[in-house]
A = this chain, B = another copy of it.
Amino acid sequence: MANETFLAVAQSMGGLKVSCTSRNFEFILDEPQKLGGSNEGMSPVEALLASLGACKVIVARSFAGMHSIHLNDIRVEVEGILDPDGFMGKNKEAKIGFSTIVSKFYIEADNTDEEISDFIAFINRTCPVADTIENAPTIKSEIHKL
């Protein structure tokens, strides 16, 4: 085993704006004004979809050569369906998070349809973010008072 620990910090900046940092990188997440935010960044659920799409793009680029895929370009558009009535407490039947996530691969490669299809199946099962969503990790929580 070669377990590694990854870390991200989400610091409230007042209102619903959040500074997200990991190593020396940062991005801002926020909510649209209709949900009470100041709309200065994408929302966490959008960032989750973005991280999933980016992970698939990176797996594709990393493993194309090994799979003899001549990859010219790749874009992954990720759609997620979510009923905000769930987390808003308006509908107890509604799932809190995404009920469906669809990854749409837009790919340009000098390969057959079957080769591309097999490679995308490989990407979907080798993507760490996808696996985290499809096969839930052990979840823990700690409280520290400031």
Contacts and interface: CB of A to CB of B under 8 A. Distances in A.
A56 to B, nearest CB: 7
A20 B54 contact: yes
Contact of A83 (B3, B23, B84, B102): B3
B47 A47 contact: yes
Contacts of A79: 5-7
B1 A83 contact: yes
Contacts of A139: 100-101, 103, 130, 133-134
B51 A47 contact: yes
Query: Would you call the interface of chain A mostly helix, strand, loop, or mixed?
Result: mixed
Interface in A99-139: 99-108, 113, 116-117, 120, 124-139
B129 A94 contact: no
The interface centre, meaning the residue of A55, A97, A125 with most chain B CB atoms within 10 A of its CB, is A97
Contact of A50 (B20, B99, B116): B20
Contacts of A125: 96
Contact of A15 (B2, B61, B94, B140): B61
The 4 closest A-B pairs by CB, nearest first: A10-B53, A97-B131, A97-B132, A44-B55
